[in-house]
């Protein structure tokens, strides 16, 4: 089956008891046993739940993975992957990461005697050079939040594989519709399903996908032992969102390209960053490893935080809010929102300035989006 069909059908067969076309919300904590030591397919919803199973199977299918695991948030999913590490282990990571990932690395796992080396994601050789005998994971995010740097997944996967180290890819920004890292050599894919996968800004969730049975079993053990799992209602909402992922991503991308082109013509906008623009330094890499360019557009204003404050106060259609990937358009100030836990020096090192604005372009009428951006930028030119 093709992608759009899999998003609607895989893991979502009609309910065998009632014939329900839609997977039911199995709102139960426990399941009856047939006898001593004889559970049915399910025994306790922390360990597994039929609604969650449907979501995990569908996500695995879309990422072309053998195994899927759902979590209560993207950060819970990332923490579960890191659970395979032990004191003394080492991780090589691209320096451009979501601020929450950086916080997890530095404030949760580094105190546990796990070390991290950050390298330029645009330089595949930097990963190979940074790998040591203690390296247990290579971790990248592509496109990266918020400056949309890309990592050459084929090249980094080759370097990781040569060293016998699994490559983890945060695929949240692209979604499986535009990019499937396992097919490019990655070992593990993580998602914040809060974003494009669910797509409606109404549920928090995360996922881990892999085809490596040993990695799957280790992460699944942690999932059950710690219990950071989504409830059946959250799984059902995410499944409902998945059904329209293909059509949503097409419209997201179409709108984002139009917005990016509009912003390049605005006098107060100093730089527009979008992989779909030929001006993006990794435009050709995006074309070679992605099936589309996504829906995040980042730009910089000359006047720094003062101009950003004036700009967001004038917005009417775009909402000034955290997160991304929903059907509504959002504006974010990374320095005070998604990457606020980083120090000014850390943000400066990776290129996040006070004038940086990240747009999550939704699926509203693009004429309304462009008009809104125009009227909000207009006072800055006076």
Is 98 tagged catalytic?
yes
Maximal CA-CA distance, the chain: 78
Burial code (b: 16+ CB inside 10 Å, e: under 16) for 214-248 equals: ebbeebbebbeeeebbbbbebbbbbbbbbbbbbeb
- Is 382 catalytic? The answer is no
At a CB cut-off of 8 Å and minimum separation 6, what does 4 contact? Answer: 245, 246, 247
| Alpha-helix runs per DSSP H in the chain | 3-9, 50-62, 74-82, 99-103, 124-130, 153-163, 175-178, 213-226, 232-242, 245-263, 283-289, 304-314, 344-350, 366-377
Nearest CA among 322, 311, 323, 321 for reference residue 354: 311
Catalytic residue among 46, 240, 250, 314: 46
Catalytic residue among 6, 180, 195, 248: 195
User: For this structure, is 196 an active site residue?
Assistant: no
330 exposure class (CB count in 10 Å sphere: 0-12, 13-18, 19+): buried
Residue of 79, 152, 170, 307 marked active site: 170
User: Which residue in 6, 52, 79, 98 is the catalytic one?
Assistant: 98
DSSP annotation of 13: P
Cα of 121 vs its chain's centroid, Å: 16
CA–CA dist 286, 292 (Å, integer): 8
Closest CA to 290 of 145, 157, 173: 173
- Please tell me the distance from the alpha carbon of residue 139 to that of residue 154, in angstroms, as a whole number: 14
Six-digit token string for 234 = 């959250």
Active site residue 220: no
Other C-beta atoms closer than 10 Å to the C-beta of 31 total: 17
Residues near 2 by beta carbon (within 8 Å), at least 6 away in sequence: none
DSSP 3-state assignment of 192?
strand
Tokens of residue 40, six digits: 């049915």
* Three-class secondary structure of residue 94 per DSSP: strand
The residues carrying an active-site annotation are: 46, 98, 170, 195
């Amino acid at each position: 089956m093709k992608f759009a069909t899999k998003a609607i059908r895989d893991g979502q067969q009609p309910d065998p008891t009632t014939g329900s076309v839609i997977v039911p919300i199995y709102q139960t904590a426990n399941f009856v046993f047939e006898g001593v030591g004889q559970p049915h397919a399910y025994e306790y919803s922390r360990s597994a739940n039929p609604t969650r199973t449907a979501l995990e199977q569908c996500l695995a299918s879309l990422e072309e993975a053998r195994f899927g695991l759902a979590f209560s948030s993207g950060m819970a999913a990332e923490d579960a992957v890191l659970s395979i590490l032990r004191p003394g282990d080492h991780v090589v990571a691209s320096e451009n990461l979501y601020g929450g990932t950086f916080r997890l690395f530095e404030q949760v796992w580094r105190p546990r005697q796990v070390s991290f080396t950050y390298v330029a994601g645009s330089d595949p050789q930097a990963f190979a050079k940074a790998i040591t005998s203690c390296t247990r994971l290579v971790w990248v995010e592509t496109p990266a939040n918020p400056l949309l740097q890309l990592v050459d997944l084929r090249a980094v996967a080759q370097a990781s594989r040569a060293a016998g180290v699994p490559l983890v890819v945060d695929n949240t920004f692209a979604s499986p519709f535009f990019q499937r890292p396992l097919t490019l050599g990655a070992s593990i894919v993580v998602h914040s399903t809060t974003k494009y996968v669910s797509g409606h800004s109404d549920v928090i969730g995360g996922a881990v996908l892999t085809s490596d049975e040993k990695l799957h079993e280790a992460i699944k053990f942690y999932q059950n032992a710690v219990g950071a799992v989504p409830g059946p209602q959250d799984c059902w909402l995410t499944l409902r969102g998945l059904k329209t992922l293909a059509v949503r991503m097409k419209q997201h991308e179409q709108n984002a390209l139009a917005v990016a082109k509009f912003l390049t013509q605005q006098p107060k906008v100093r730089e527009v960053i979008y992989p779909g623009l030929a001006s993006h330094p990794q435009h050709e890499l995006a074309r070679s490893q992605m099936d589309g360019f996504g829906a995040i557009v980042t730009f910089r204003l000359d006047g720094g935080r003062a101009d950003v404050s004036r700009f967001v106060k004038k917005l009417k259609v775009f909402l000034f809010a955290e997160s991304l990937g929903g059907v509504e358009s959002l504006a974010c100030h990374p320095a005070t929102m998604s990457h606020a836990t980083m120090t000014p020096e850390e943000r400066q090192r990776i290129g996040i300035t006070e004038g940086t604005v990240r747009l999550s372009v939704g699926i509203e009428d693009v004429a309304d989006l462009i008009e809104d951006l125009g009227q909000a930028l207009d006072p800055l030119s006076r």
